[in-house]
């Protein structure tokens, strides 16, 4: 790409997109390394479990995660409670990616494009503007989920509102003032 630039073929957009792609790959590699989980030491070998017992560290497990800089592999400690059999990934909770393969940054982007344009158009915008490949269904699901999160507190307030007790009018309703 840069060689064609030197030869006088000035396709700036192609160079921009190639550089963005290279920066994304480097960023994804750095982010993967930054997020690399390590086996816990000492007292971190157990985690509190919702059943009241302690879950024990079992192993590191991988998870693919789409981030603003591209796809990364997240290796994180897995804990299992022998009492109730429930497994957990505390790092997923900390990073806000529990039961989700999209980073908070990508979810925000999807919510914005999904609230502004059709889901298919949102998919196209994510490819063009962020260099990220997502499905139209991912745009739809994320936009709707975040919309529900935003609406939940409002709905709770509406549910708590009490009907105002207004006094009934007195006197002759047929009489004009």
The reported pLDDT for the residue numbered 165 is: 58
Predicted confidence at residue 148, as pLDDT, reads: 85
Count the alpha carbons within 13 Å of 146 in the hemisphere toward its beta carbon: 19
Helix, strand or coil, per DSSP, at residue 65: strand
Chain segment 57-68, per-residue pLDDT in tens = 999 999 999 999
How far is residue 129's CA from residue 134's CA, in Å, rounded to a whole number? 12
Candidates 59, 64, 73; CA nearest to 31 is 73
Strands (DSSP E) along the chain, which ranges? Answer: 46-48, 54-67, 70-80, 87-88
Query: Which band of pLDDT confidence, cut at 50, 70 and 90, is reported for residue 6?
Result: low
């Amino acid at each position: 790409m840069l060689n064609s630039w030197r030869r006088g073929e000035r396709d700036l957009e192609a160079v921009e997109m190639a550089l963005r792609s290279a920066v994304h790959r480097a960023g994804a590699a750095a982010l993967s390394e930054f997020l690399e989980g390590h086996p816990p030491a000492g007292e971190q070998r157990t985690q509190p479990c919702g059943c009241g017992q302690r879950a024990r560290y079992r192993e590191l497990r991988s998870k693919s995660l789409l981030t603003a800089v591209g796809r990364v592999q997240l290796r994180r400690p897995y804990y299992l409670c022998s009492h109730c059999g429930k497994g957990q990934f505390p790092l997923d909770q900390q990073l806000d990616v529990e039961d989700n393969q999209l980073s908070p940054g990508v979810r925000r982007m999807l919510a914005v494009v999904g609230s502004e344009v059709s889901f298919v158009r949102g998919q196209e915008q994510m490819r063009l503007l962020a260099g990220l490949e997502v499905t139209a269904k991912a745009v739809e699901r994320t936009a709707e989920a975040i919309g529900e999160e935003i609406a939940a507190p409002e709905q709770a307030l509406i549910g708590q509102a009490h009907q105002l007790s207004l006094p009934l009018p007195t006197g002759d309703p047929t009489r004009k003032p």
